Structures are given as C-alpha cells and as structure tokens.
Amino acid sequence: MNGRAARVFRLTNETGQPGITLLPGGRFGVTLVNHIDSHTIIHWHGQLPPWTQDGFPWPQTPPLSPASSKTYDYVPIPGTYWMHSHQGLQQQSLMTAPLIVHDVAELREDRQEIILMLHDFSFRPPDELLAGLTGQTPSAAHAMAREVENVAAPAVGPPATAPSMSMRGMMHDMKGMGGMMSGHRDGMSSMDGTTGMRMDINDIAYDAFLANDRTLADPEVVRVERRGRMRLRVINGASSSQFWIDLGGLTGQVVAVDGHAVHPVTGSRFPLAIAQRLDILVDLSAPGAFPILACLEGSRRCTGLVLATQGARVTRIGETGLDQMQPLDNSLETRLAAMEPLRPREPDLVHRVVLSGGMKPYSWSLNGELWPRITPLMLAKGQRVEIELINHSMMAHPMHLHGHAFQVIAVNGKPINGAVRDTVLVTPMKGSVRIAFDADNPGRWPFHCHNLYHMMTGMMMECRYQGIAIQR
Ligand SMILES: [Cu+2]
C-alpha cells in the first residue's frame, strides 16, 4: 500500500479473481471455503436468499471455523451486489468483494463493464481503530467485536436486567448514555451546507482510500474504446467512509441503485453511502483519459481509476482534490424513481425507529436500545410493512435491511415514489426516511447501520417474522 507492506484478507473465486459474477438464469451455487486461521462468515449483501443462507452468524448460520466450508444454493436477483464478512472487524481488513449477477437485457446492451470497488484503509489493526473510538484496550475491543454478531437478540423483548454483562454493556453503563451532543476523538466535524449546523463525519482518520485496491498514486487504468459505451458498477465497500462519485468532465446516467433499476438520472457527481451501489452508464464521444473519482465527504481526499482510450496520455492525479466535499445528503435519493415500484397498498404495520447516539461515549442506538439487548420489530408474512426512520444524532447512518428490498417512500417527510434498494442514508439532526416492503421472506433478519463501528457499538436490531422458531 503506497510502498508499505500490509496484511489483508481476500475473497476470491476459483480462478483467483475477487468475487463472483453470475450469468443470466444461473443459480447462486457457491461453496464458501475458509482458508484463514479464524472463524468467518460471508454475507451476500442485497441478495434475497432464505434466511439460513444470508451469511449473518447467529445460531442459524454459524460462522465457519478454519478449514471448513459451507454450500449455498438459491436463486439470485440480477444487478450490482457485493459480499463481505459479517464477523468481527474482518470487513475493515478488506474481506469484501463484488457480486455481479447479469441479466439478459444488460448483456444485450453490449456495454463494457467496469467495476469500481471502494474501501477505506488503515495500517493500524481494526481492533485498534475500534479501541480508539471506544476508549477500550485493543484486546477488549477485539473480544467485543468477536462477540457482537454471534449473539442473538432475546426471545421476547429486552429483559429488565441484563442476563450477562457484555464488554459493551459494562462500558456503556459506566459512562452513561450518550446524548445528541458529541465530542471528538478521531473524527471530524463539518458544517451542513443547508442548515449551517455542525455535524459529525468520518470517525476514523484513514491512511488511504482504495479503488479496486489501489490509490491514486498508482491507479488502475482501464482501456476503453474511442466511442466506448460503459456500465460503471460502483460499490462502496468501505467500513466507515462515504463518497461523492465524480465523473469529472464526463456525464453519466444512473440507471440502477443497489442493483435495482431506476428511471435514469443524468449528472456528473453522485453521493454514495456506505454499502450502496450505483450503476452509471457513460458514453465517450472523444478520445482521451478520464479519471473517475470517489471523493471522501467533508474532505479533499480522493481515490479512483482512469478510463483511457488507446494512446491517451494519463497524467498523475493528486490524492487531494481542490474542492472540499460536502457531507453526503439525500439530493440524489429524492430524484430517484424505481422502474418497478411496489404496488400501491395501505400498510398493515408501521414501525418507528429512532436513531441516536454520539461520539462520547462512542455508542449508537436504535429506539434507545443497544444490540443485542433490543426489542425486535415483529412482522408477519404477507404484510405490507413501513418503517419510519428518524435520526436524532449528529451523524448520518446508512441503514441496511437484510433479506428484503424496500422502496423509499418519503425523505424528510416529503412523500416520493422512490428507489427500491437495500441500504438508505438517514441524514443527521432530525433527518427522516420512510421505507416500505412486502414481508415475503420469513426469518429473523438483521436491520442495522452499515457503518461498521456504529454496528459494533450497538446500532443493530432485528426484523422478526411471527412464528419463526427461536433456536439456541
Ligand atoms: Cu451509523
């Protein structure tokens, strides 16, 4: 990494390439083999398998021990997806990869496919990064992170007194509940352009930001045709960083978000929250070299790759851009409209979830509760479910629901017939988002903030179907 050795994980297929690409009509028939020296489990982010194949630990899909394997077999949905470890802090060590499922129409459009996978990177071990936020020792942070996803939520509601004090529980009780106000340790704060209020972003000071595992000091140069037609599949696989995708002098059309088609939105700069994906169509009209950048919100730091036609001169691009990027917002979200929206229907059930927490103590909650001591959101098969997410904290949270694609039906109180997707950003200081989905995939599904360090310190709950057996 920029001339210095680093030890990271990889998720590769049988040919040694990162991730998986499936052809139209194929099944997701995959054997996951664990070649590392600790437990792991991989989540097929955004896919809709039966819950026992989701790749979230708990007792039902236990992590794989070293040298063991597990076979998966389900019908995949087409689009730009990704996979990542759902075990401890392995995601921060790049245990992530693209998961691309082609469909017939896409292949027929005959476009060059270019994957741009983003990461944040630190030479410090992830345990140390978490410890830096929580004030624990790295070994205590490691123990906490290892435990988090392997503990199921209680059978019914949270107990009046905690049955066993977890590391996090003790820390939290000692320091008291975090309010809306927050201090700063590693992070930065920024002024929100529209409200002029201070907000928190970028909890961790990273050493580098990666595009397909490289920095702008030595970026990937993708050879393209003079009149090339491309589909960029941009995946934000970062653990704790959000980006503006900047096409520079090019104009593109967003045609899918989180794998699901939307009516095209034209532009040259688009926000991409943690875990989200963008499919962007780009057509070249002249030869040349065209940087495609991902610039960290609230900063000048960028990563990216370069599209270059034959013979084009590729000049060095600095890792620090000229413009300070705004914090991410929902300006794109409110312009999106699903190609295949939900059928209009009154909800059978409306849940309300309040997002809160702060930097001091470093702890993030949903409805005032910390995973795993949470009250599940109950639902029943066949219901139309709506969830109203309201953010009382000073930081934005990319919320991800497992096992379902939901439609965004309101942003900050304004109804929209928005995108169908699996991860949505809830902006800080009373920002709100309303989502709707049909309860058609019975199970016990995690619903969490996809900022790894927020999830690790409590920001996770469960959507639980009635009648699902509680296994221990
Ligand atoms: Cu969060």
Q: What is the largest CA-CA distance in the chain?
A: 69
Question: Does 146 or 42 have the greater pLDDT score?
Answer: 42
**How far apart are the CA of 363 and the centre of ligand 1, in A?**
10
Q: Which of 318, 276, 314 is nearest to 293 (CA)?
A: 318
**How far apart are the CA of 354 and the centre of ligand 1, in A?**
12
- For residue 470, pLDDT beyond 80: no
Q: Where are the domains of the chain?
A: 20-106, 142-182+338-465
**How far apart are the CA of 392 and the centre of ligand 1, in A?**
11
Rg (CA), the chain: 21
Quick one: pLDDT at residue 160? 36
Q: Which of 302, 290, 265, 293 is nearest to 280 (CA)?
A: 265
**How far apart are the CA of 146 and the centre of ligand 1, in A?**
19
Quick one: pLDDT at residue 405? 98
**How far apart are the CA of 67 and the centre of ligand 1, in A?**
33
Contacting residues for 156 by C-beta, under 8 A, at least 6 apart: none
**How far apart are the CA of 33 and the centre of ligand 1, in A?**
31
**How far apart are the CA of 430 and the centre of ligand 1, in A?**
14
Place of tokens 């819950």: 51
Give me the amino acid identity at 248. G
- The whole-chain average pLDDT of the chain stands at 90
In the numeric block, which tokens belong to residue 441? 């995939």
Quick one: pLDDT at residue 191? 57
56-105 tens-digit pLDDT: 988 778 899 999 999 999 999 999 999 999 999 999 999 999 999 999 98
**How far apart are the CA of 282 and the centre of ligand 1, in A?**
32
Quick one: pLDDT at residue 427? 98
Quick one: pLDDT at residue 169? 37
Write b or e for each residue in 27-59: b if 16 or more Cβ atoms lie within 10 A of its Cβ, otherwise e: ebebebebeeeebbbbbbbbbbbebebbbbbbe
**How far apart are the CA of 415 and the centre of ligand 1, in A?**
23
End-to-end Cα distance, the chain:
43
**How far apart are the CA of 451 and the centre of ligand 1, in A?**
5
Roughly what angle, to the nearest 10 degrees, separates helices 126-134 and 138-148?
100
**How far apart are the CA of 136 and the centre of ligand 1, in A?**
19
Rounded CA-CA distance 151/58 in Å is: 6
Mapped onto helix, strand or coil, the DSSP state of residue 68 is coil
Q: How confident is the model at residue 408 (pLDDT cuts 50, 70, 90)?
A: very high
**How far apart are the CA of 283 and the centre of ligand 1, in A?**
35
119-137 tens-digit pLDDT: 999 999 999 999 999 999 9
Quick one: pLDDT at residue 269? 97
**How far apart are the CA of 123 and the centre of ligand 1, in A?**
23
**How far apart are the CA of 217 and the centre of ligand 1, in A?**
30
**How far apart are the CA of 274 and the centre of ligand 1, in A?**
10
* Range 184-193 contact pairs with CB under 8 angstroms and sequence separation of 24 or more: 184/359, 184/360, 185/132, 185/133, 185/359, 185/360, 185/362, 186/129, 186/132, 186/133, 187/359, 188/298, 188/299, 190/297, 190/298, 190/326, 190/327, 192/327, 192/428, 192/429, 193/326, 193/327
Rounded CA-CA distance 337/232 in Å is: 20
Rounded CA-CA distance 463/445 in Å is: 5
Q: How confident is the model at residue 277 (pLDDT cuts 50, 70, 90)?
A: very high
Q: How confident is the model at residue 362 (pLDDT cuts 50, 70, 90)?
A: very high
**How far apart are the CA of 454 and the centre of ligand 1, in A?**
5
Q: How confident is the model at residue 156 (pLDDT cuts 50, 70, 90)?
A: low
In the numeric block, which tokens belong to residue 117? 């996978």
**How far apart are the CA of 5 and the centre of ligand 1, in A?**
30
**How far apart are the CA of 102 and the centre of ligand 1, in A?**
31
**How far apart are the CA of 355 and the centre of ligand 1, in A?**
8
Q: Which of 448, 449, 419 is nearest to 436 (CA)?
A: 419
**How far apart are the CA of 391 and the centre of ligand 1, in A?**
10
**How far apart are the CA of 235 and the centre of ligand 1, in A?**
18
**How far apart are the CA of 291 and the centre of ligand 1, in A?**
30
Rounded CA-CA distance 334/284 in Å is: 28
Quick one: pLDDT at residue 192? 52
Quick one: pLDDT at residue 167? 34
Taking a C-beta distance cutoff of 8 angstroms, is the pair 245, 278 a contact?
Answer: yes
pTM exceeding 0.85: yes
- For residue 335, pLDDT beyond 50: yes
- For residue 174, pLDDT beyond 90: no
Instruction: Report the percent of the chain where pLDDT is more than 70.
Output: 90
107-123 tens-digit pLDDT: 899 899 999 999 999 99
Give me the amino acid identity at 463. C
**How far apart are the CA of 432 and the centre of ligand 1, in A?**
14
Give the mean pLDDT of 388-394.
97
Q: Which CATH number fits domain 20-106: 4.10.80.400, 2.60.120.10, 3.80.10.10, 2.60.40.420?
A: 2.60.40.420
**How far apart are the CA of 225 and the centre of ligand 1, in A?**
41
**How far apart are the CA of 343 and the centre of ligand 1, in A?**
30
Rounded CA-CA distance 167/345 in Å is: 44
State the CB neighbour count (10 A cutoff) for residue 322: 6
Instruction: Report the percent of the chain where pLDDT is more than 90.
Output: 81
Quick one: pLDDT at residue 175? 33
Is 142-182+338-465 in CATH node 1.20.1070.10? no
Identical topology for domains 20-106 and 142-182+338-465: yes
**How far apart are the CA of 153 and the centre of ligand 1, in A?**
19
Quick one: pLDDT at residue 196? 53
411-457 tens-digit pLDDT: 999 999 999 999 999 999 999 999 999 999 999 999 999 999 999 99
Angle (CA) 147 150 153, round 5°: 105
**How far apart are the CA of 439 and the centre of ligand 1, in A?**
24
Q: Express the helix, strand and coil content of the chain in percent, nearest 5 each.
A: 10, 40, 50
Q: How confident is the model at residue 468 (pLDDT cuts 50, 70, 90)?
A: confident
